[in-house]
Structure 1
Amino acid sequence: MTIETLKTDGASLTLHLNGPDWDGACAATLGNVSFKAPQTGAALLEQALARVREVGMDRVLGPMAGDTWHSYRFVSESDGSPAFLMEPANRPHEPLIFADAGFQPVARYFSARMSLENNDPASLPAPDGFTVEAWDGRDPDALFREVFALSSQAFAGNAFYMPIAEAAFLDMYKPVIPLLRRELIFFARRPDGALAGFLFAIPNYAEGLDTKTVILKTYASFVPGAGRHMVHACHVAARALGYQTMIHALIHDDNRSAARSRQEGGQVFRRYELLGLKLDV
């Protein structure tokens, strides 16, 4: 990946010149955005756009650190509550600088929270064609290799998807291994043991080690009904462990899981946007 770091006094970003496909063409991406002041940020953003034009590209996405495996999205609305673990964050003026440069939203997302204390989820019908089991806590490298393999297939059809190497994926998640709770990670498996889905949840350690909040970070499946069963299992397990709140994190507005979050009683507390700009070159 071709990465350039642009920096001035009070502003910095990384420019990735071989980002994901956007409407049939490769887009550049602008990641790790840090604009301490609007004036210096606007000047650096214009410098980055000039560089994109210089190399003959005409599409830019941001904020995105190269691809959707890494940090991306601006916070666009918030109830003011502190950021949760692994949540994107930005200064309020940073998305305004992008908007002033002509960027428009190309995808929208939200996070919602639901109470586990007063939630007694009804039992679901028995799974048909798969079983749901919690991770046994052994061999975390094997866990993430399985998650990577399924994610690479399940998310390949998503907008702005780009493949990455397994080694790069493992490097991203190794730092969180000490934070994992095996009771909050689930697999759906077919009768032959093949992986049919996974769900990854983690306590919100941004609140401290005694947090009472769990983040449902991501899940995916290839078997109808597996996602619903894994979410149900996660809610039940989290409640049994004494957690009081579940965060349904970073859901695309048009994703099926958005409707599921609403059905479960999720209340939106944060919204996010990925921005894009098509240049005249």
Structure 2
Amino acid sequence: MSELTLIKTHPGELSFPLFEAVLENVYEADSLRLKQTESVNQSFLVECWIVMRNDVPLARLAIYNNPQLRFQEQQAGCIGNYECENDPETARFILQKAFERLKELEISYVIGPMNGSTWDNYRFSTHHNAAPFLLEPHHHLYYNDQFIENGFEVISNYTSSFDTSLPHDLPELLERERYFSALGVVIRSIDLTRFDKELESLYPFILAAFQTNFLYTPIDWESFRDKYREALKIIDPDFVLIAEDAHKQPIGFVFAYQNLYCTTEKQLVIKTIARSYDKQWSGLGHVIANQVIRNAGQHGFSALIHAFMIRQATSTEISRNFSGEVYKNYALYGRSL
């Protein structure tokens, strides 16, 4: 077999198109992956790597060093934007060299796949038993094996749940909704006519609401704003709701959108549910979820997808309370260096 060679590059350099060209060589021409976009997180990027054989790019990854990312009290680096041909030798070549590079950076633990932080793409699907949904990254399942064969272990499991009953307005939820309303809480749609102002108000709230999440690291305002601006084309205000207290301060948020991949029925993907950790707002996440499900029923939706929930997280509890059944699984990997 021909010798493997390594090219190091960055976005904007003359060799960077080879990083993108890997996709065309490891996926079939009609693959969903070729229709999806995935950015390189330049905030934490060290280098992008490409593996070549006979001048053909057959594997790639990006090495990230997020100084605030820690796992079990260790500084953790990331391997993300991973793509590789179905060949153990190629995978071993690029991954082992990445481990060496991370050790040069005095990083003792590596997490993958993760594009620098949990604000960006991370996790591998562990099966393709169900149709993909919008914003769910698509990739070869053998990537899981390539990681495991190179010393990675699962450090966290995630699920997506599917629900066709759309249960809502249970008596206890309506009672809790009335309770919050009496305290001056208002649940409203996001205002797209003042979108950036809405984001400015949400930014500190969401950072505070997410700070106890597994592997959380903060994101700067500009990156936060840009991520939601990118999502603007799929936002329907009926499914992006903000809960505000009597002082008009955000205390809850839900982000949901239509699964445009599905053409046989209207499916709503619930991606984010967050609430203030103040004990007086206990149950608010369920109330906001109830309202978005109510809205979905009124707009002719027949199914819900509760997306990317870490097992045993609050969002998993919310999905279970609304009759979601797990139908997809994902894994995040890590290993010591």
TM-score bucket (shorter structure): over 0.9
Query: How many equivalent residue pairs?
Result: 276
Residue 189 of structure 2 aligns to which amino acid in structure 1? A
- CA separation of 1:113 and 1:147: change in aligned 2, threshold 3 A: farther
1:16-55 deviation per Cα after TM superposition (whole angstroms, max 9, x unaligned) = 0235111222211011111122332222111111111222
Establish whether residue 67 from structure 1 lines up as the match of residue 122 from structure 2.
Answer: no
| Distance of 1:116 and 1:164 partners within structure 2 | 36
- CA separation of 1:116 and 1:237: change in aligned 2, threshold 3 A: farther
Partner of 2:293: 235
Partner of 2:130: 81
Shift of 1:266: 0.6
Aligned partner (choices 15, 18, 22) of residue 63 of structure 2: 15
Residue 49 of structure 2 aligns to which amino acid in structure 1? L
Q: Percent identity?
A: 25
Partner of 1:201: 256
| Distance of 2:192 and 2:227 partners within structure 1 | 19
Partner of 1:102: 151
1:129-184 deviation per Cα after TM superposition (whole angstroms, max 9, x unaligned) = 32322224322222333332221111112221111111011112212212211111
| Distance of 2:160 and 2:220 partners within structure 1 | 28
Aligned partner (choices 188, 191, 202) of residue 133 of structure 1: 188
| Structure 1 residue matching 2:261: 3-state secondary structure | helix
Indicate conservation of the 8 Å contact 1:186/1:200, yes or no: yes
Establish whether residue 163 from structure 1 lines up as the match of residue 218 from structure 2.
Answer: yes
| Distance of 1:90 and 1:121 partners within structure 2 | 38
Indicate conservation of the 8 Å contact 1:212/1:245, yes or no: yes
Aligned partner (choices 30, 35, 38) of residue 87 of structure 2: 38
- CA separation of 1:147 and 1:116: change in aligned 2, threshold 3 A: farther
Pick which of 65-74 and 33-42 moved more. 33-42
**Structure 2 residues not aligned, in runs of 5+:** 1-43, 52-56
- CA separation of 1:225 and 1:5: change in aligned 2, threshold 3 A: same
Residue 234 of structure 1 aligns to which amino acid in structure 2? V
Shift of 1:120: 5.3
User: Normalising by the residue count of structure 1, what TM-score does the alignment of the two structures yield?
Assistant: 0.92
Establish whether residue 253 from structure 1 lines up as the match of residue 311 from structure 2.
Answer: yes
Establish whether residue 148 from structure 1 lines up as the match of residue 148 from structure 2.
Answer: no
Partner of 1:50: 100
Structure with larger Rg:
2
- CA separation of 1:198 and 1:67: change in aligned 2, threshold 3 A: same
Q: Which has the higher helix share?
A: 2
Aligned partner (choices 209, 219, 241) of residue 186 of structure 1: 241
| Distance of 1:110 and 1:147 partners within structure 2 | 26
Shift of 1:116: 4.3
User: Normalising by the residue count of structure 2, what TM-score does the alignment of the two structures yield?
Assistant: 0.78
| Structure 1 residue matching 2:193: 3-state secondary structure | coil
Establish whether residue 216 from structure 1 lines up as the match of residue 270 from structure 2.
Answer: yes
Question: Which consecutive aligned stretches of 4+ in structure 1 deviate over 4 angstroms post-superposition?
Answer: none
| Structure 2 residue matching 1:127: 3-state secondary structure | helix
Partner of 1:271: 329
Indicate conservation of the 8 Å contact 2:273/2:285, yes or no: yes
1:46-84 deviation per Cα after TM superposition (whole angstroms, max 9, x unaligned) = 111111122221100000000000000111244x22221
| Distance of 2:305 and 2:45 partners within structure 1 | 35
| Distance of 1:170 and 1:206 partners within structure 2 | 25
Indicate conservation of the 8 Å contact 1:64/1:73, yes or no: yes
Shift of 1:190: 0.8
| Distance of 1:256 and 1:18 partners within structure 2 | 26
Partner of 2:140: 91
| Distance of 1:176 and 1:155 partners within structure 2 | 19
